[in-house]
Amino acid sequence: MERSYSNARMANSFTFWNDCVEPEDLEEMWMDPAVSAEWIDVGETKGQKVHLSRDPDGQPYLTQTEMRAVSDITVRRHFDSILDSEMICAIAELESDRKPLIMRYSKKTKETGLGILQVFEKTAAWLAGGQGYQAYNVDDNPDLLHKPFINVYFGAAYLKWLTDYQNNQRSEEFVVRAYNGGTKKATHKSTLPYWKRYLAVKESLPSRKHGDAGPSSFRPTNPASPGSNTDFTYWDSRASPEDMEDMWNQSEICKEWTKSKEERGKVRFSQDGEKRPYLSRGELKAVAEIIVSKYFSTKGIRVPLVCAIADTVCMRFVNGIKKHVGILGVDYSTASWLYSELGYRAYRVDSADDLTKPFISMYFGVAYLVWLSEYEGSQRSNQFIVQAYMKGPDHVDLEESCPLWLKFEQALSYYEESKRDSGSCVIL
């Protein structure tokens, strides 16, 4: 049986954000567009103390917007943006409801979890001493683990350690279940309910619907004012009127765009902190559904596989990443070959720039997947198709553990929760 209670000694000092973060942390919080909008909305003023929200029992808590910002900032500063910020946010929901003063004592382990991510004192000490995570010193004052940035730092450090447990790249499911029950219980039935709750919570996070690419990513809640320095890329410049009409006819997209105050004829892409345009997961799924239903409905292909590949290869960035062009990373020579030799001509592709248009990249990406599914006349497994798409069909090694496959499986969980058979010979 577990019990939770607030740390009474520190409760009086947690009235304001200024009481639990450094000035530079608060400044960076103000720089987050979603946080500043939320704080200004409730009457906070930059340069003055910012109130922490409180529940009906008077317990301070972080809003989901604040939690996302703390997570994003911590991941960007200390972990080279390689940890999934949404993973941290979802675990915070499960562990503490985002309440920094929560303490939970377990009679079974005889340990007390502290703060937002329920970090144990001995875990923080081990991470600092044995693993080199020394951005904060909590040896002499473990109460510091109640401070949001310090708690998330050590919680994230433990998650990072779990991702490479025993020098093996671990799946998201392993990491989350191990965080809950320890590495020995990562595959035990006792941690399965936690994993299922985690998936449900992660799916419900607002950031998954409106700003889910990377650190400080955002779609403004109001149109940019005249003279604004923000340069947006617009959907309407990268899609035909017919494709845009199909998007507006998707109920979830209509809700998403309406909530973001988008207007027909002038729909903005979301942007990350470097102002790179990207598709939200909802938008990506909608484009995939439209393309698959229109042009590949008899090919046995399913939307989750397409979306997971886009997430893995190009992180849904409109222009792609490095040599990978567009949301599905299809190069011009491949698209041109599919168009001229295999007869995929629903969209023209006259230059590489055409592949930065989401519908065109999606169309030729799916066409390539269809071709790979029957490579050299054989029905191919999911693992072959994914590796072949990312590395080329001549470089597939099904016997070797493939980090790309593990990343793909993690991405797939965003779009499909059911169990999947990696050896099946149908496209997911």
For residue range 267-299, what is the model confidence (pLDDT) as tens digits?
Answer: 999 887 677 899 999 999 999 999 999 999 888
R_g of the chain, CA atoms, integer Å: 23
**Spatial CB neighbours of 95, under 8 Å, sequence gap ≥ 6:** 113, 116, 117, 118
pLDDT tens profile 375-425: 888 888 888 888 888 878 877 777 665 566 677 877 888 787 433 333 332
**Total length of the chain:** 428
Write out pLDDT tens, residues 23-80: 999 999 999 988 999 999 889 999 999 999 987 778 899 999 999 999 999 999 998 7
Domains of the chain: 2-163 (1.10.530), 235-415 (1.10.530.10)
Q: Please name which of 300, 294, 292, 90 lies closest in space to residue 200, comparing C-alpha atoms.
A: 90
CA distances from 293 to 2, 109, 301, 307, 372 (A): 50, 52, 10, 14, 19
Tokens at 41, concatenated? 């909305």
Helix, coil or strand: residue 263: strand
* pTM metric for this prediction: 0.51
Question: DSSP 3-state assignment of 277?
Answer: strand
